[in-house]
Amino acid sequence: MIESIQIKLLPEEVSDLVLIKKRLALEVGHNDFVFRWKKRSIDARKKRILINATFEVAKSESEFTPLKGFQPAKKLKGTVHIIGAGPAGLFAALRCIEFGLKPIVIERGKDVRARRRDLAKLNKEQIVNPESNYCFGEGGAGTYSDGKLYTRSKKRGDVDKTLALFVEFGAPKDILIDAHPHIGTNKLPQIIVDIREKILLHGGEVRFESKLTDIEIVSGKVSRIQINSEKWENVEELVLATGHSARDIFDLLHRHHIKLYAKPFALGVRVEHLQEFIDKIQYHGRVNDAFLPPSSYSLVTQVANKGVFSFCMCPGGIIAPCATEQEEVVTNGWSPSKRNNPYSNSGIVVTVSPDDFENSKDPMVCLDFQKSVERACWEAAGKTQEVPAQCLKDFIDRKVSKSFPRSSYQPGIVSVDLNTVLPKMIADRLRKAFLDFDKKMKGFVSNDAVLHAPESRTSSPIQIPRDRESFAHIEIKNLYPCAEGAGYAGGIISAAIDGMKVVEKIAEKSEQKIA
């Protein structure tokens, strides 16, 4: 029988297996057992930092349940077109193969390696390729990210299956036990390549530089799709996993009078501190400690009836230019697996809701607002990929910063009073929220921290509604709005889970047809 045992360890004790066995033996009452890690998290609330460690203890290794990996069907029959090769699209394709369905993945961007060259151009020459950037291309928006793999999803089975698949495709096993697992930008691309190769090996198709440009609807179903404004092809089932930045897809659906709703999202700035400073606060002065990972934070407050919160915090990370068009600027963050850059960055964002606008019933109302802020920031910083920036204390004092301590944002920053660029409803709340955060993390507000604007692609500003039971669009029977772009996921893990869930619904439907 497997027993689950929780103990507390000091950070320096975590890799001492002899000591761990002794401590577990005290709990078990004998020495005749094997053990493996189940979960670990850092408790840094008090000066004496502890690791909450949970182990599984059994009589022999064979008692431990092996990871349930990828289980391909022998034969594929019936096709599913999947638009988008982000986490949702790729995990949907894997699940298709498990259910004996042939996935055809259609991706507007380039393969993960070719994509890297476009990112270099974006960083160094300020050229945005609208088909290949930090949001578009193989692996989707999550490929060149921090690769944080935590989710608010409470469905442990789904999360565990997804993490197990990541491990099967090369992610470190630590992600199975860490409370806040992450992979890192340097490791994600190879994992994506391995997933693609597995899809191809088992009879799926993956096409790059292929953009969905139109659909034909006959009798309440999508009958054909058009690729790159040229070729049309027939479809049986269509999974739309195009992410929150595929604005042309929202336009396309709207043009076809397919129901869409505006949905709340969040918008603000990305703040950058020195990682050492964040460690000092979070680890009670313990910096450069070999036994502790670069620390993170999670902040939340309410200002004038709206949530203001930290988003996608990247310890030891870099701020990335995430625009998908030339005439806009967007920030987000990434980190390598070791999170060993000297900077820490995080989005600090304010909830935006359709009700904030007069035309709240217009499905495009939040998207239009998002676009207008991205464009205003682009104009304010000189119409390049440089972003408007301000030291944090100066932002609160409404003073244009005279100089900056540093910035990891490669295309460059331009000093601007962000209070004059960001909409008042955002700027006013951010100033108050920062003062609250400064109480929670002393020193958070200073001119050693730099704000970069905007952080705007937090989640989709549009919902593509689907039926609760079938997961198909409420009006179009074989169209499956999926994951982040449709408003059903936020982040890599939940997007991957939603991709798999949608395919399970399609498989259920085809089984019903056969029966």
Ligand X SMILES: Cc1cc2nc3c(=O)[nH]c(=O)nc-3n(C[C@H](O)[C@H](O)[C@H](O)COP(=O)(O)OP(=O)(O)OC[C@H]3O[C@@H](n4cnc5c(N)ncnc54)[C@H](O)[C@@H]3O)c2cc1C
With CB under 6 A as the contact rule, the residue among 95, 102, 126, 146 that binds ligand X is 146
Q: Is 394 or 498 the residue whose CB approaches ligand X more closely? A: 498
Name which of residues 12 to 51 contact ligand X (CB under 6 A). Answer: none
Per the CB < 8 A criterion, the answer to whether 335 and 341 are in contact is yes
What is d(CA 85, CA 95) in angstroms, rounded to the nearest whole number? 14
Least distance from ligand X to the Cβ atom of residue 152, Å: 11
Q: Is 122 or 422 the residue whose CB approaches ligand X more closely? A: 122
Name which of residues 305 to 324 contact ligand X (CB under 6 A). Answer: 312, 320, 322
Q: Spell out, one character per residue from 329 to 368, where the chain touches ligand X: x when CB under 6 A holds, - when not.
A: ---x-x----------------------------------
With CB under 6 A as the contact rule, the residue among 147, 189, 321, 388 that binds ligand X is 147
Q: How many CB atoms lie within 10 A of CB 470?
A: 16
Q: Is 311 or 437 the residue whose CB approaches ligand X more closely? A: 311
Residue 484 as a binder of ligand X (CB under 6 A): the answer is: yes
Name which of residues 84 to 103 contact ligand X (CB under 6 A). Answer: 84-89
What is d(CA 348, CA 309) in angstroms, rounded to the nearest whole number? 6
Beta strands, E only, 353-442: 387-391, 413-415
Q: Is 111 or 417 the residue whose CB approaches ligand X more closely? A: 111
Residue 135 as a binder of ligand X (CB under 6 A): the answer is: yes
The site for ligand X, by CB under 6 A, has a size of 42
With CB under 6 A as the contact rule, the residue among 365, 392, 492, 497 that binds ligand X is 492
> Could you tell me the CA-to-CA distances from 377 to 202, 313, 386, 388, 412 in Å, in that order?
46, 21, 9, 6, 13
Least distance from ligand X to the Cβ atom of residue 321, Å: 9
Q: Residue 163's closest CA among 72, 98, 67? A: 67
Q: Is 135 or 199 the residue whose CB approaches ligand X more closely? A: 135
Residues 6 or more apart whose Cβ sits within 8 Å of residue 384: 126, 411, 412
Name which of residues 45 to 84 contact ligand X (CB under 6 A). Answer: 83-84
Residue 202 as a binder of ligand X (CB under 6 A): the answer is: no
Q: How many CB atoms lie within 10 A of CB 71?
A: 9
> Could you tell me the CA-to-CA distances from 161 to 80, 157, 208 in Å, in that order?
22, 6, 27
Least distance from ligand X to the Cβ atom of residue 389, Å: 18
Least distance from ligand X to the Cβ atom of residue 493, Å: 6
Per the CB < 8 A criterion, the answer to whether 449 and 391 are in contact is yes
What is d(CA 233, CA 488) in angstroms, rounded to the nearest whole number? 27
Least distance from ligand X to the Cβ atom of residue 319, Å: 9
Q: Spell out, one character per residue from 219 to 258, where the chain touches ligand X: x when CB under 6 A holds, - when not.
A: ----------------------xxx--x--x---------
According to DSSP, the β-strands at 261-262 and 102-106 are unpaired
> Could you tell me the CA-to-CA distances from 19 to 15, 23, 26, 92, 307 in Å, in that order?
9, 6, 11, 43, 45
Q: Spell out, one character per residue from 263 to 302, where the chain touches ligand X: x when CB under 6 A holds, - when not.
A: ----------------------------------------
Residue found by looking up tokens 């507390």 in the block: 8
Residue 489 as a binder of ligand X (CB under 6 A): the answer is: yes
What is d(CA 468, CA 473) in angstroms, rounded to the nearest whole number? 9
What is d(CA 209, CA 80) in angstroms, rounded to the nearest whole number? 19
Task: Give the footprint of ligand X on this chain (CB under 6 A).
Answer: 83-89, 106-109, 134-137, 140-142, 145-148, 211-212, 241-243, 246, 249, 312, 320, 322, 332, 334, 483-485, 489-492, 495
